[in-house]
C-alpha cells in the first residue's frame, strides 16, 4: 500500500470545479513535484493534502490512515509557504521549536533538535534573531528548518523559491535536493518552474485544469510526453510542434505514421540548421546567443517557425537563407486531439 494515496479527489469552490478527480499514489521517501501553468490547481491540490481546504469528494490516506476530513493540526505534515509564514513575534529558535512546544516535547530535546536542524541549515548564529532581522534566503531556510525539526510524515513545499532572486533560487534548489537526499523524507513540492521540477523530482506530476496530464520521471516526461501539452510544457525552449497540413515537407519526413490531421513535434536540439540548399529551406528570424547554447529561430513557411538549438556559436544573421534538417527518429507524433501516438500512456 502506498504511503500517501489520493483517490478521485474533487474540489469545488461554489460552482467552480478546481480539482476534477485526481488519483495519485505516492511512495514513502519519494520527491514528488506538482507542476503546471498558473491556475492548474497544483497549489489547491497541495492545500487539500495539507487540510487547509476541505475536500469536496474523494479520499486521502496517509500511512494507512484515512485523513480526508482530519484537521490540519492532526495530519502530521509540515508545510513551507511561499511567503515563509514565519511567526514575526518569535525568534528563529522559537519559530523552529514551536511545533515541538505545542506537542509538549521536553525542552532539552527541543533544544537539541532545533540546534541540529540549525546546523544543517547554517542558521546556528541566527537562532536568537527575529525573522525581520534576516535576509530572504535566511528566512527561507528558517521556514525549511521549522519543517525539518518536526520530522513530519510528509513535507509540503508551496512554491518556496519564487520570492528569491535567480542566483539564490538556484543555490537553494541544490540545498533542497541535498536535504532530501540526506533526510529521505517524503516530499511534495509545488512549482510553476519546470527547471525546479526537472532537477528535484523523483516523479513529476503535470497538472492542467485540475486534472493530471501525466506522471513520470523527469526524463520520461521529456522523452515520452503523453500529449502535446506535456511535450510543450516540459523543456526550454518549447518543443516545436507543427501540424501536418501546414508543412507538407515535414509530412514526407514523418512518413505514414503521421495522420493527415495530426501534428509532429521535435525538440529544438534535434533541429539542425545547415547551409542553404540542403534540408527544408527557411530564413533566419532571430538568433539568441546564450553563450553555452545558441537558439536560432527559422521561418520555414508562411506561419511555421522552428527553433533550433545548438552548442556551437553561429555567424548567421537575421534574414540569412538556411536549410533545416530533421531526422525521422527524433519526431513525436500527435493525433488531432494532441495525444502522443508513439506511446499511448495513461496518466497514472
Binding site for other proteins (CB under 8 A): 50-52, 71-75, 77-79, 81-83, 85-89, 98-99, 102-103, 146, 150
Nearest to 334 by CA among 236, 248, 198, 224: 224
- Toward other proteins, which CB reaches closer, 82 or 283? 82
Nearest distance, CB of residue 59 and other proteins, angstroms: 20
Distance between CA atoms of 31 and 201, rounded to whole angstroms?
5
Q: Pick between residue 99 and residue 188 the one whose CB is nearest to other proteins.
A: 99
Which of residues 154 and 298 has its CB atom nearest to other proteins in the complex? 154
Strand extents, DSSP E, 63-171: 65-66, 77-80, 154-158
Task: For the beta carbon of residue 102, count every other beta carbon within 10 angstroms.
Answer: 10
Residue recorded with cell 533538535? 113
Q: Using the minimum distance from each CB to other proteins, give the nearer residue, 98 or 270.
A: 98
142 or 280: CB nearest other proteins: 142
How far is Cα 137 from Cα 171, in angstroms, rounded to an integer? 10
> Judged by CB, which is closer to other proteins: 34, or 333?
34
Shortest separation between residue 132's beta carbon and other proteins, angstroms = 13
Residue pair 70/43 in contact by the 8 Å Cβ criterion? no
Indicate the angle between helix axes 166-183 and 136-149, nearest 10 degrees.
20
Q: Which of 267, 206, 163, 278 is nearest to 45 (CA)?
A: 206
Task: Please state, in angstroms and rounded to a whole number, the distance separating the CA atoms of residues 33 and 40.
Answer: 14
* Whole-angstrom distance, CA of residue 253 vs CA of residue 56: 49
CB 53, min distance to other proteins, A: 10
Whether residue 283 contacts residue 293, with contact meaning beta carbons closer than 8 Å, is answered with no
Q: What share of the chain is helix, strand, coil (3-state, %, to 5)?
A: 30, 30, 35
Burial of 166 (0-12, 13-18, 19+ CB in 10 A): exposed
Cβ 83 to other proteins shortest distance, Å: 5
In angstroms, give the least distance from the CB of 47 to other proteins.
8
- Minimum distance from residue 142 beta carbon to other proteins (Å): 12
Nearest-approach distance from CB 147 to other proteins, in angstroms: 9
Q: How far is the CB of 50 from other proteins (least distance, A)?
A: 6
Between 84 and 126, name the residue whose CB sits nearer to other proteins.
84
Nearer to other proteins, 84 or 333 (CB): 84
Write the DSSP symbol of residue 173. Answer: H
Amino acid at each position: 500500500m502506498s504511503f500517501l494515496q489520493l483517490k478521485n479527489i474533487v474540489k469545488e469552490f461554489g460552482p467552480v470545479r478546481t480539482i476534477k478527480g485526481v488519483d495519485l499514489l505516492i511512495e514513502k521517501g519519494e520527491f514528488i513535484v506538482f507542476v503546471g501553468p498558473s491556475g492548474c490547481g497544483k497549489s489547491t491540490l497541495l492545500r487539500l493534502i495539507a487540510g487547509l481546504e476541505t475536500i469536496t469528494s474523494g479520499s486521502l490516506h496517509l500511512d494507512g490512515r484515512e485523513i480526508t476530513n482530519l484537521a490540519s493540526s492532526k495530519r502530521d505534515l509540515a508545510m513551507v509557504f511561499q511567503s515563509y509564514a514565519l511567526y514575526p513575534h518569535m525568534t528563529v529558535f522559537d519559530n523552529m521549536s514551536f511545533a515541538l512546544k505545542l506537542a509538549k516535547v521536553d525542552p532539552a530535546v527541543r533544544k537539541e533538535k532545533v540546534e541540529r536542524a540549525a546546523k544543517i541549515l547554517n542558521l546556528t548564529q541566527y537562532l536568537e534573531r527575529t525573522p525581520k532581522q534576516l535576509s530572504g534566503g535566511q528566512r527561507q531556510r528558517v521556514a525549511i528548518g521549522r519543517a525539518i525539526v518536526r520530522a513530519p510524515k510528509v513535507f509540503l513545499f508551496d512554491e518556496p523559491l519564487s520570492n528569491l532572486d535567480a542566483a539564490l533560487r538556484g543555490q537553494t534548489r541544490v540545498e533542497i535536493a541535498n536535504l532530501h537526499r540526506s533526510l529521505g523524507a517524503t516530499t511534495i513540492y509545488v512549482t510553476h518552474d519546470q527547471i525546479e521540477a526537472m532537477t528535484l523530482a523523483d516523479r513529476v506530476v503535470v497538472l492542467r485544469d485540475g486534472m493530471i496530464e501525466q506522471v513520470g520521471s523527469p526524463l520520461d516526461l521529456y522523452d515520452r510526453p503523453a500529449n502535446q501539452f506535456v511535450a510543450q510544457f516540459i523543456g526550454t525552449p518549447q518543443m516545436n510542434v507543427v501540424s501536418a497540413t501546414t508543412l507538407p515537407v515535414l509530412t514526407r519526413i514523418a512518413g505514414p505514421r503521421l495522420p493527415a490531421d495530426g501534428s509532429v513535434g521535435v525538440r529544438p536540439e534535434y533541429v539542425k540548421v545547415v547551409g542553404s540548399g540542403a534540408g527544408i529551406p527557411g530564413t533566419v528570424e532571430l538568433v539568441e546567443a546564450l553563450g553555452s547554447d545558441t537558439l536560432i529561430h527559422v521561418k520555414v513557411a508562411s506561419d511555421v517557425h522552428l527553433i533550433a538549438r545548438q552548442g556551437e556559436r553561429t555567424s548567421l544573421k537575421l534574414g540569412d537563407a538556411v536549410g533545416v534538417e530533421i531526422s525521422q527518429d527524433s519526431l513525436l507524433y500527435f493525433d488531432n486531439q494532441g495525444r502522443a501516438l508513439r506511446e499511448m500512456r495513461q496518466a497514472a
